[in-house]
A and B are shown apart, each in its own frame.
Chain A
Amino acid sequence: MSKPSDLIQGTLDLLILKTLALEPMHGWAIAKRIQQVSQEVLQVTQGALYPALHRLEQQGWLRAEWRASETGREAKFYRLTKAGRVQLDKELEQWRRLSHAVVQVVGEA
């Protein structure tokens, strides 16, 4: 019932948007991609992923459509909208400022 997420909500949004910036993907693929790219460091649980996808879709940053997946079955593919790209830029910018600030404080440059 509670949100079993290790990631800060905003961060998960950023990861999803960034991942989808390359190409439209379905939920499973998004989770896998984040896992692979982060070299298994970031584990996105389904309990966090799907609500986030639905929320982003509601915000208008993603658009979903059903089409055949690589396995041949139908899956729900999410793709970034124009508003989503703008949002991604915004979030990236924020992330850069935040991580830079954290690095400054922690003192490892």
Chain B
Amino acid sequence: MDRWCNLLRMRLRSWMRRKRVETELDRELRYHLERQVEENLAAGISAGEARLAALRMFGGVSQVQEECREMRRTQYVENLWQDLRYAVRMLGKSPVFTVVVVLTLALSIGANSAIFSVIDGVLLKPLPYPRAERLARVFYRSKNFAKFPVNPWDFLDFRARNRSFESFAIYTRSDIQLSGVGEPVKLSAFRISAGYFTVLGVAPARGREFDFVEERPGNGNVVILSDRLWRRQFGAATDILGRKIVLDAKPYTVVGVMPPGVDHPGNAYNSVAYGDTVDAWYPFEFEGNPGQRGPHYLEGIGRLKPGVTVTQAAADFNTIMADLATHYPGDQGWTIYMVPLYQEIVGPVHRLLLVLLGAVGLVLLIACVNTANLLLARATARQREIAVRAALGAGRWRLVRQMLAESLLMAILGGGLGALLASAGVRALVAFLPAGFPRLAAIHVNGLVFGFTALITLATGLFFGLVPALQSSRTDLQQGLREGGRGATGTGRQTRLRSALVVGEVSLACVLLAGAGVMLRSFLNLLHTDAGFQPLHVLTARVSLPDTTYKTKDAIARFYKTLLDGLSTLPGVQAAGAGTDLPWTGYDDNLGGFTIEGKQEPPNESFHARYHAATPDYFRAIGIPLVRGRYFTDRDIKGAPRALIVNQAMARRYWPNEDPVGWRIDFFDDKPKDSDWYTIVGVVGDVKDKPQNSAAEPAFWWPIPQQPWGFGDMSVVLRSASDPVRLTGHLREAVRGLDPSLAVADVRLLDQVAAESFSTPRISLFLVGLFAALALSLAAIGIYGVISYSVSQRMHEFGMRVALGASSWDVIRLVMGQSVALTAIGVTLGLGTTLALAGILDSMLYGVSAKDPLTLICVAATAVATAAMACYPSARRATSADPVAALRAE
């Protein structure tokens, strides 16, 4: 204990009173030296000789001083301080070098932190539900449909009979209009089964969730509000429970209010963004005939019992499914597809994010290699300084430490700047990502991100600093001092090392370039493929009719006809239509089990297609071309022969070599009367199912007056000759004129909808392209550095060559040749790596392979051209070698 106190006291003294300790050390050693001189004099050696002899005997004074300091240990702190001050001075001496290095580091560290924030928010953060790893989504699967929604009556059987779930629920998007509190507003709402919130593990903050009684037809007039809606529309009234509010013109009793920040678990059909996006929930009522099982449009979600895996649960469900299939023909050919909720949410972007992290990691690696390269070059130029410091008693470790201090200082500057860039970058990134991107709201720059930044900053500093530091501290003292006077020479080893680093940089840059190249081609393919509709100059908005006021199909049809007739007379409007669905907004509902007259359903499979309803001008307004037959007309009304329009995909699937026009389909009747049949009157072009997916799914449309159900929730579509935004006011006015209680919601331009669908591939292309450009510039800097250094070493040789008759062109070729050779090795390695990694990208590409030869050739050409440009200045300089000076030196 005593000893430690003493040690601490001594160290503090040596540190706090450095000056004094240093002088004392000096005096102490000088005393010794003087005594030695006196002794030498006494031995009869001459005065001058005596002193020299004493010094010789003593050895290096400064070495001994350094060692004494070493014994005092305080030099760790002291040296660090000294090293840092020295580093600042040295960096200040070569501002261009410092700025280049710090900026490249800032960009690459910033990009890494930004991408890491996204990964942290989307992939790393646990889902915002307790024990979220036990949540699983439930879908159907068949030969034709990889992921298909659940139907209501099957759900009830599964809920009653399964032994794998603690709780199992369904939910389905069912927006609803709130009126009676200010302007009517459309609420983003879901119909849910009892126990939905139990599955999620979130309890209402007030009130309760729905019970089984409320699932029965006629009992569902109760509602649970989100905290947001409760505050915004009801002023956070504490007496809200039990209050009656008007939804779709019907009274609903508020039975619960959720706590703030209840995250929507995502839905595949008519999807709503993740996060706190849902306004209200009301009960799903199980209506209709249990024998018919009902249409597939429900999203299943369940909480696994502890210890039960998703595979086991799926097996359990499939046993029940097989049993159901023996009772209900419509259930034949289906299996259950179960997937953990986490995977369902982040699955679509998982690979993309890892690819981005990989790309940005490569950039950081290149930045490190590049900086190491620049540092090596500088170390060569500083050989004399290093030799002098070594001669003055600096140990090798001390030299390494000094160099590391410089690189760490640059890394810390770069990292600090990078952290700033990252926080700005993340905000920009989130703004550019589409609203449907998984867990967008969870992306923040937080402590973990800053920790990550700090870590990579330190790792970067050590990584790029250590090699050059170790290299240059190996300086041969004598040679360094002797040759230091006339520009230092690099040893063969250093030159080789630097060339290897450049080859590495070029190859990594090629990997990134190739990635960006194929992503660009894929993106262009996406843009150029025919979407199947014409999104330009089209305004869309959702106008929903509550079924209490618009009780009959006639009333619904009449409303939309009056509205659209009025709108189509507006100046500039080319076509005005309405339909149940818009492309690429998640319209995926399918209807199965209908009858095609004269066709047999394939074994274990029923007829399936997506169902929609539309007005006559819907197709013209949205720009879907007619392929055969006709569009709907105003004569396709109630009582008239029933008409149907199918798309080409449906025509191809069920009439592979025939014209479907004139065939008849019946949807719901066991023994259809003549008037029950719908006759196909037209075939329209396919709309790609998803922007990234060239396939179109079979689909058909009913005319609104002849639709089997009372769909009163339509998207109005207005095609205009010019900018359609100005039509918004007219649309609102027209709707208000017909029924002031209606809300006009989701007003958007169709090209916005289309652009949003492309925003994920667009932003990933932008990022990878940015990273590739950064990588290429870094590689160019690296090549420039190596070649220009090599040229300065060989000026003498070039002079000789010119003297011996070489032309400028010969010299340029010589220099360029060296650069191209290095690049060629790098390109070969890079393309090899690209081919090896191609599998990772392939699934993200559209219409192009990751091994696309054209792209690879372009990458090689770009790399070589960049290398040639990077070394051209040096090559020019080589031609200016003076033959006379060279000869004279010989």
- Say whether A109 faces chain B, with CB atoms less than 8 Å apart: no
CB of A88, distance to nearest CB on chain B (Å): 15
Return the CB mask of A31-72 against B: 1 if under 8 Å, else 0: 100000000000001110011101101111000001001010
- Say whether A76 faces chain B, with CB atoms less than 8 Å apart: yes
Distance between Cα atoms of A73 and B31 in the complex (Å): 8
**CB distance B31 to A51 under 8 Å?**
no
Centre residue among B10, B24, B38 by max chain A CB count within 10 A: B10
- Say whether B393 faces chain A, with CB atoms less than 8 Å apart: yes
- Say whether A79 faces chain B, with CB atoms less than 8 Å apart: no
Centre residue among B6, B34, B70, B72 by max chain A CB count within 10 A: B6
Contact of A50 among B11, B57, B68 (CB under 8 A): B68
Residues of B within 8 A of A55 (CB): 71
Which residue of the partner chain A has the closest CB to B6?
A60
Which residue of the partner chain B has the closest CB to A60?
B6
Residues of A within 8 A of B7 (CB): 58-60
**CB distance A1 to B393 under 8 Å?**
yes
**CB distance A51 to B11 under 8 Å?**
no
Residues of B within 8 A of A95 (CB): none
Distance between Cα atoms of A9 and B59 in the complex (Å): 19
Contact of B71 among A4, A51, A69, A83 (CB under 8 A): A51
Contact of A45 among B11, B29, B59, B68 (CB under 8 A): B59
- Say whether B3 faces chain A, with CB atoms less than 8 Å apart: yes
Q: Which of B65-88 contact A (CB under 8 A)?
A: 67-68, 70-73
Given contacts A47-B59, A76-B24, contact A58 B72 (CB under 8 A): yes
**CB distance A54 to B71 under 8 Å?**
yes
Centre residue among B27, B38, B57 by max chain A CB count within 10 A: B27
**CB distance A47 to B63 under 8 Å?**
yes
Residues of A within 8 A of B6 (CB): 59-60, 83
Contact of B59 among A4, A66, A71 (CB under 8 A): A4
Distance between Cα atoms of A69 and B27 in the complex (Å): 13
- Say whether B669 faces chain A, with CB atoms less than 8 Å apart: no
CB of B43, distance to nearest CB on chain A (Å): 14
- Say whether B32 faces chain A, with CB atoms less than 8 Å apart: yes
Residues of B within 8 A of A75 (CB): 28, 31
Given contacts A59-B7, A60-B6, contact A26 B31 (CB under 8 A): yes
Residues of A within 8 A of B68 (CB): 50-51, 54
Residues of A within 8 A of B395 (CB): 1
Which residue of the partner chain B has the closest CB to A52?
B71
**CB distance B2 to A58 under 8 Å?**
no
Given contacts A45-B59, A46-B59, A47-B59, contact A27 B67 (CB under 8 A): no
Distance between Cα atoms of A4 and B10 in the complex (Å): 26
Return the CB mask of B19-31 against A: 1 if under 8 Å, else 0: 0000010011101
Residues of A within 8 A of B396 (CB): 1
- Say whether B64 faces chain A, with CB atoms less than 8 Å apart: yes
- Say whether A74 faces chain B, with CB atoms less than 8 Å apart: yes
Contact of B64 among A50, A60, A69 (CB under 8 A): A50
CB of B32, distance to nearest CB on chain A (Å): 5
- Say whether B58 faces chain A, with CB atoms less than 8 Å apart: yes
Distance between Cα atoms of A55 and B10 in the complex (Å): 11
**Binding site secondary structure of chain B:** helix
Q: Which of A82-108 contact B (CB under 8 A)?
A: 83
**CB distance A83 to B2 under 8 Å?**
yes
**CB distance A1 to B63 under 8 Å?**
yes
**CB distance A27 to B32 under 8 Å?**
yes
CB of B125, distance to nearest CB on chain A (Å): 50
CB of B37, distance to nearest CB on chain A (Å): 11
Distance between Cα atoms of A60 and B4 in the complex (Å): 9
Chain B interface bracket (under 10, 10 to 19, 20 to 34, 35 or more): 20 to 34
Given contacts A51-B64, A58-B71, contact A46 B27 (CB under 8 A): no
CB of A30, distance to nearest CB on chain B (Å): 10
Given contacts A27-B28, A28-B35, A76-B24, contact A58 B63 (CB under 8 A): no
Residues of B within 8 A of A66 (CB): 24
Q: Which of B1-57 contact A (CB under 8 A)?
A: 2-3, 6-7, 10-11, 24, 27-29, 31-32, 34-36, 38, 57
Residues of B within 8 A of A60 (CB): 2-3, 6-7, 10
CB of B459, distance to nearest CB on chain A (Å): 30
CB of B5, distance to nearest CB on chain A (Å): 8
**CB distance B393 to A50 under 8 Å?**
no
Residues of B within 8 A of A73 (CB): 31, 34
Distance between Cα atoms of A58 and B71 in the complex (Å): 8
Which residue of the partner chain B has the closest CB to A27?
B32
Distance between Cα atoms of A9 and B495 in the complex (Å): 42
Distance between Cα atoms of A51 and B66 in the complex (Å): 9
Distance between Cα atoms of A83 and B72 in the complex (Å): 18
**CB distance A76 to B31 under 8 Å?**
yes
Which residue of the partner chain A has the closest CB to B34?
A73
**CB distance B3 to A76 under 8 Å?**
no
Distance between Cα atoms of A4 and B32 in the complex (Å): 18
Residues of B within 8 A of A28 (CB): 31-32, 35-36
Which residue of the partner chain A has the closest CB to B67?
A51
Contact of B72 among A26, A31, A54 (CB under 8 A): A54
Distance between Cα atoms of A46 and B29 in the complex (Å): 9
**CB distance B11 to A58 under 8 Å?**
yes
**CB distance A46 to B72 under 8 Å?**
no
Q: Which of B162-214 contact A (CB under 8 A)?
A: none
Residues of B within 8 A of A45 (CB): 59
Distance between Cα atoms of A75 and B393 in the complex (Å): 25
**CB distance B28 to A59 under 8 Å?**
no
CB of A28, distance to nearest CB on chain B (Å): 5
CB of B188, distance to nearest CB on chain A (Å): 72
Contact of A59 among B3, B27, B63 (CB under 8 A): B3
Residues of B within 8 A of A76 (CB): 24, 27-28, 31
**CB distance A46 to B32 under 8 Å?**
yes
Residues of B within 8 A of A54 (CB): 68, 71-72
Residues of A within 8 A of B3 (CB): 59-60, 83
CB of B372, distance to nearest CB on chain A (Å): 27
Given contacts A26-B31, A50-B68, A83-B3, contact A58 B59 (CB under 8 A): no
Residues of B within 8 A of A3 (CB): 67
Return the CB mask of B535-571 against A: 1 if under 8 Å, else 0: 0000000000000000000000000000000000000
Residues of B within 8 A of A51 (CB): 64, 67-68, 70-71
Q: Which of A7-32 contact B (CB under 8 A)?
A: 26-28, 31
Which residue of the partner chain A has the closest CB to B65?
A50
Return the CB mask of B838-879 against A: 1 if under 8 Å, else 0: 000000000000000000000000000000000000000000
Distance between Cα atoms of A104 and B31 in the complex (Å): 43
Which residue of the partner chain B has the closest CB to A56?
B71
Centre residue among A4, A27, A60, A69 by max chain B CB count within 10 A: A60
Residues of A within 8 A of B57 (CB): 46
CB of B798, distance to nearest CB on chain A (Å): 40
**CB distance B67 to A47 under 8 Å?**
yes
Distance between Cα atoms of A30 and B752 in the complex (Å): 90
CB of A107, distance to nearest CB on chain B (Å): 38
Which residue of the partner chain B has the closest CB to A29?
B35
CB of A53, distance to nearest CB on chain B (Å): 8
Given contacts A4-B59, A59-B7, A60-B10, contact A50 B2 (CB under 8 A): no
For the complex with contacts A27-B32, A50-B67, A83-B3, 5 further pairs of A-B residues with Cβ separation under 8 Å are A31-B32, A47-B59, A51-B68, A54-B72, A58-B11
A-B contact pairs, 27 of them (CB 8 A): A3-B67, A26-B28, A26-B31, A27-B31, A28-B35, A31-B32, A46-B57, A46-B58, A47-B58, A47-B59, A47-B60, A47-B63, A47-B64, A47-B67, A50-B28, A50-B68, A54-B71, A58-B11, A58-B71, A58-B73, A59-B7, A60-B6, A66-B24, A73-B31, A73-B34, A74-B27, A75-B31
The residues of A with any CB-CB pair to B shorter than 8 Å are 1, 3-4, 26-28, 31, 45-47, 50-52, 54-55, 57-60, 66, 69, 71, 73-76, 83
